[in-house]
Amino acid sequence: MALHRLAPLAAICALTLSAALTAPAQAQVQAHSTATQQRAAEPYCATHKCIALTFDDGPAEYTNDLLKVLKKYKAKATFFLIGNRVQKHPKLAQNIVKGGHEVGNHTWSHKYLTDLEYKAIYSEVKKGQDIIKKTTGKTPVLFRAPGGLINDGVRTIIAKFGMYQIPGTVATQDYIKDYRDVEFLTGRALDIAGQDEVVLMHETVKQTAQSMSEVLKELTAQGYSFVTVSKLLEGQELVPGESYPEQLPLSGD
């Protein structure tokens, strides 16, 4: 399959990162302990080439394979889970958290929220939140709307839960059937990868899970640190209900 070189959907990332500070000489470190403490508190991604890989729609049958390859490359990722799938596969959801990854809320049953009344949207979000919390012990602070579809009602509800919207900044578009080829999706992922990008993929797509070994190998060689979305956003002032990183909306599924 020919590899189309598509430009990242959002080339500009609005993350404001402070410039890396040069390492001072040992004597200076001792002389200026206050400055050293400030440097230690600097967000990890201000001084590292970070990328946040995200996997939607699970837990799914490829979750454990994915966790295995992420572990091999010491990569942390963010999984946007569907509530009724967490109910069906509690062990897989727990394995994700045990692996040190972040879990986000992707609603209870993956309905397009903009088709629903306020009360039904609230229920989709709350049921998703409750089952993730009950199953994994973690309360998600990240939310991703199915299809990336949001409106003011969604925004208000997400804010009530103290969550932030994470639509992603680039996508392999593995939801397109014709793209479901390991080599092609590997090329796509490497193509759209960039510093501080939030990459949207699906753990329900076998070829995505199979592509990760090569993708992680190559991106590791390029010096990337694979971090959770919360780690990527560290140091930013976040407003509940708003979308991060700030950028053009990305449609996904």
Q: Which is nearer to Zn ion, 56 or 174 (CB)?
A: 56
Catalytic residue among 56, 57, 174, 196: 56
Shortest distance, position 214 Cβ to Zn ion, whole Å:
24
Residue 144: CB minimum distance to Zn ion, A = 7
Query: The tokens of 76 are what?
Result: 């942390």
Q: Minimum Å distance from CB 146 to Zn ion?
A: 5
Rg (CA), the chain: 19
Q: Is 56 a catalytic residue?
A: yes
The label of the residue with tokens 């946007």 reads 80
Considering only residues 103 to 162 of the shown chain, the ones binding Zn ion according to CB under 5 A are 146
Q: Which is nearer to Zn ion, 46 or 149 (CB)?
A: 149
Alpha helices in the chain (DSSP H): 26-31, 33-40, 63-72, 83-88, 90-98, 118-136, 152-160, 182-192, 206-221, 229-232
Is residue 174 part of the annotated active site? The answer reads no
174 sits near Zn ion (criterion: CB under 5 A): no
- Give the Cα separation of 183 and 161 in Å (integer): 40
Query: Shortest distance, CB of residue 45 to Zn ion, whole angstroms?
Result: 25
Q: Does 56 bind Zn ion (CB under 5 A)?
A: yes
Query: Which range, of 10-18, 22-30, 49-57, 226-234, touches Zn ion by CB under 5 A?
Result: 49-57
Any idea what DSSP says for residue 54? E
101, 174, 202, 253: the active-site residue? 202
| Closest CB to Zn ion among residues 57, 174 | 57
Q: Does 57 bind Zn ion (CB under 5 A)?
A: yes
Residue closer to Zn ion (CB basis): 76 or 106: 106
| Token pair 């966790």: residue | 67
Q: Which of 52, 225, 70 is nearest to 144 (CA)?
A: 52
| Rounded distance between C-alpha atoms, residue 250 and residue 51, angstroms | 17
Termini Cα distance of the chain: 23
Q: Which is nearer to Zn ion, 85 or 231 (CB)?
A: 85
Taking a C-beta distance cutoff of 8 angstroms, is the pair 66, 201 a contact?
Answer: no
In the complex, the residues that contact Zn ion under the rule CB under 5 A are: 56-57, 146, 253
Active site residues: 56, 202
